Amino acid sequence: MSDLIAGEVPPTRRASSLMQTLAAATLIQIVATASVLALTAIAPDVASDLDIGAYWIGYQISLIYASGMFSSAIAGTLVQHFGPIRIEQIALVCFVLGFAGIASANIPLIIIASLFIGVGYGLNNPASSEMLSRVTPHNKRNVVFSLKQSGVPLGGILASFAFPFLSRYVDWHLALLIGAAAPLATMGFLAVTHAAEPSAPSASRSLIRGLVDEQSTIWRNPRLRALCGLGFAYSAMQLSVSAFAVVTLVHDAGWSLLSAGSVAAAMQLAGALGRVFWGVVADRIGGGFITLSLLGLLGGLGYALLFWLTDLPSFAQVALFVAVGGVTIGWNGVLLAEVAHNAPEGRVGAITGGVLVYTFIGVIVGPSTFGSLYALTGHYGASFLIFSLFGIGGMILAWRAHCAGR
């Protein structure tokens, strides 16, 4: 569908529409990720107030993505019926409710708030992929989707730096309430730049039927099946390092919370730059699967090296986390571009939602398993070493998909 539309729209109008849509989609992605990772950035302080272990943050992240998995599974049908703009608006409302619920410091409300954040996060990518696929030329697909997905690490930077900083001057509850202003402001920006589409009754169908149809399409296509597996493996790695970077530096390496948050922010910045870099690489070499294979190899090696983190000097610890961030956070735009390329015409949003179900499963398995491994070993480095297998497995899977495609 993106190729057809890109060919029909005059170049000047297409460029304007592309820039406007890319800006809106990237801003929403920044807010979405900051909402997910807000609690991880101040986990030690929150855990102390709630009298629980900081490693429980892994289960909160998994809860968010469990909710996101279900909303992503039905997002394709919702996008077809209500249009991507309305779905993005609903997602932003969910983020506002999530910030407010976590700020309550009441564990049952934190659980409910986490579910809201997950629903919003699961709706976001299918809707934004549908928006971008309508205006993106084929030869810019990887870089455009990677630019949009750079909002993930940029949101991580926002969370990793802003919330520890605010918590130095105000209570962490108030810091989270201040954070709720971000999705509210984004709702205003989206309302100004994009008009919501009318609902399409002809596209209406049951959510279950839509889910079954999307999964059937995916599993009949070997390249889409491979992308499901890659999304599972790489998301488990990405969210584990995002969730546990601060806690690892504080508990294992003896860093202060603010200093560790700064390292996590630098790691996310490297991920943002990495997403754009890997998108350019994929477009230049014309091989998304080759790029994804290389990312798996480098990510696996980086995770293995984190086993020896405490034996390294401080500057090397920072360099290693930054390098790991540039790789393990840099894969998503290339994967989504490959999904858009391999999806049937007119069904980019639906198929994106279906593939991202497995990405969410990886996130559910990732941080919670990582936390469980720490509970067993008492050493975050051991968890990173075991998780390096996800990267090596992804390298093999992506290379096989590339060879099969040839």
Encode pLDDT of 349-381 as tens digits: 778 888 988 988 887 788 878 888 888 888 899
CB 363 within 8 A of CB 61: yes
At 220, give phi and psi (nearest 5°): -85, -10
120 pLDDT above the threshold of 80: yes
Cα–Cα–Cα angle for 10, 18, 338, rounded to 5 degrees: 110
399 pLDDT above the threshold of 70: yes
Q: Indicate the range of 89-98, 116-125, 134-143, 327-336 predicted with least confidence.
A: 134-143
Q: What is the CATH number of domain 2-405?
A: 1.20.1250.20
DSSP H or E segment with residue 273 = helix 257-285
Three-state DSSP class for 221? Answer: coil
- 65-115 tens-digit pLDDT: 789 888 888 887 888 788 888 999 999 999 999 999 998 888 889 899 999
Cα(88)–Cα(75) distance, integer angstroms: 11
* pLDDT reported for residue 343: 82
CB 395 within 8 A of CB 293: yes
pLDDT confidence band for 54 (50 / 70 / 90): low
Q: From the CB of residue 260, how many other CB atoms can be counted at a distance below 10 Å?
A: 24
2 pLDDT above the threshold of 80: no
376: Cβ contacts below 8 Å, ≥ 6 apart? none
128 pLDDT above the threshold of 50: yes
**Would you call 182 exposed, middle or buried from its count of C-beta atoms within 10 A (0-12, 13-18, 19+)?**
buried
CA distances from 376 to 57, 217, 369 (A): 16, 40, 11
pLDDT confidence band for 405 (50 / 70 / 90): low
* pLDDT reported for residue 319: 95
pLDDT confidence band for 231 (50 / 70 / 90): very high
201 pLDDT above the threshold of 70: no
Return the top range by mean pLDDT from 103-112, 274-283, 317-326: 317-326
304 pLDDT above the threshold of 70: yes
Cα(395)–Cα(298) distance, integer angstroms: 9
Buried-state track 214-224, b at ≥16 Cβ within 10 A, e below 16: bbebbeebebb
Over residues 337-359, the mean pLDDT reads 83
* pLDDT reported for residue 387: 94
261 alpha-carbon distance from chain centroid: 19
Q: Indicate the range of 56-60, 297-301, 359-363 predicted with least confidence.
A: 56-60
At 346, give phi and psi (nearest 5°): 80, 5
* pLDDT reported for residue 181: 93
- 157-189 tens-digit pLDDT: 788 788 888 888 888 889 899 999 999 999 988
Among 31, 253, 314, residue whose Cα is nearest residue 151: 31
Cα(371)–Cα(380) distance, integer angstroms: 9
* pLDDT reported for residue 206: 67
* pLDDT reported for residue 205: 54
CA distances from 18 to 15, 134, 140, 144 (A): 5, 9, 11, 9
* pLDDT reported for residue 146: 85
* pLDDT reported for residue 100: 92
Mean pLDDT of the chain: 84
CA distances from 214 to 73, 76, 244, 354, 363 (A): 9, 8, 34, 6, 21
Domain boundaries, the chain: 2-405
